[in-house]
């Protein structure tokens, strides 16, 4: 049985940076309460380890308001301006681990909205990264999730439309959405803000899936980019399975001469990928 791990599988730069930031704060500040705004990573195993080290996750402004001292780490997804300013107060050391690529989108949205441009964010309205991006617009922004939304979008006459994307959005779908919006507005600008690492991960996953009899996609159930990888792989390999750890692998998924491909979302640690690889190899 041939087993191949995608070169781009696992932690992306932004996620690794955020996770490393939390562990660094733990090491440098013994005894100091450490919090993260939302899950620092969409991976249950890493979150459990951080919780065991005393890190607490904050998911509402009410919880945050009760904190009088400690360190608050902003995750890679980033947050909106209003929330950022509310968290940045006396007694709280705010450590911003927002991915630099997401920060770039914040700056674009802030500057273009200040110029009076209509802001369109292509992505999932429920995703924290998109919610954070919208929070940097000085005027109400519109979130477009798919071509159907784009067809319904009605730009305000006489105003420029600035289109940006969630960093983990599917590149082809982004292009399709931009095309539909551009047909509605003669004055629109699309900024391709999809992370190059995301594009490469998706492209490599598609190529590997085409060559594989079985495809394993590893990642947390709440990971948006892993879900997109799964959808892409399923298009090219019907026997694609979404797993979180080696414990999820089915005994009847493989056969002696099967070609197995493995990829993983940006929130999947290297050790979990290696455990899956080892477990698959032991099947035959």
Would you name the residues annotated as active-site residues?
129
Among 78, 15, 71, which Cα is nearest to 41's?
15
Q: CB neighbours of 247 closer than 8 A, spacing ≥ 6?
A: none
Does residue 73 contact residue 37 with C-beta atoms inside 8 Å? yes
Angle between helices 13-28 and 100-114 (to 10 degrees): 110
Give dist(CA 280, CA 249) in Å, integer.
8
The structure tokens listed for 254 are 């493989």
Residue with tokens 């026997």: 239
Other Cβ atoms closer than 10 A to 7: 11
In the three-class reduction of DSSP (H, G, I as helix; E, B as strand; rest coil), residue 128 is classed as helix
DSSP 71-86: EEEEPTT---HHHHHH
Q: CB neighbours of 185 closer than 8 A, spacing ≥ 6?
A: 155, 160, 161
Give dist(CA 155, CA 193) in Å, integer.
21
Give dist(CA 146, CA 13) in Å, integer.
27
Does residue 192 contact residue 151 with C-beta atoms inside 8 Å? no
Give dist(CA 270, CA 131) in Å, integer.
29
């Amino acid at each position: 049985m041939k087993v191949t791990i995608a070169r781009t599988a696992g932690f992306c730069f932004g996620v690794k940076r955020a996770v490393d930031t939390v562990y660094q704060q733990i090491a440098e500040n013994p005894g100091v309460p450490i919090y993260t705004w939302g899950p620092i990573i969409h991976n249950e195993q890493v979150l459990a380890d951080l919780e065991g080290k005393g890190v607490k996750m904050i998911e509402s402004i009410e919880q945050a308001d009760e904190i009088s001292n400690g360190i608050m780490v902003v995750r890679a997804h980033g947050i909106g301006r209003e929330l950022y300013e509310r968290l940045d107060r006396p007694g709280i050391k705010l450590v911003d681990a927002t991915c630099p690529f997401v920060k770039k989108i914040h700056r674009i949205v802030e500057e273009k909205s200040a110029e009076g441009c209509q802001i369109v964010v292509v992505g999932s309205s429920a995703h924290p990264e998109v919610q954070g991006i919208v929070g940097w617009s000085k005027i109400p922004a519109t979130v477009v999730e798919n071509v159907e939304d784009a067809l319904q979008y009605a730009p305000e006459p006489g105003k420029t439309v600035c289109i940006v994307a969630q960093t983990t959005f599917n590149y082809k779908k982004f292009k399709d959405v931009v095309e539909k919006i551009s047909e509605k507005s003669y004055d629109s600008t699309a900024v391709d803000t999809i992370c190059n690492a995301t594009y490469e991960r998706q492209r490599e996953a598609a190529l590997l899936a085409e060559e594989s009899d079985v495809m394993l996609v590893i990642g947390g159930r709440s990971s948006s980019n892993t879900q997109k990888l799964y959808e892409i792989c399923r298009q090219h390999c019907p026997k694609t399975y979404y797993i979180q750890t080696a414990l999820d692998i089915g005994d009847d998924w493989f056969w002696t001469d099967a070609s197995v491909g493995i990829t993983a979302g940006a929130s999947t640690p290297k050790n979990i990928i290696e455990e899956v690889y080892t477990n698959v190899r032991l099947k035959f």
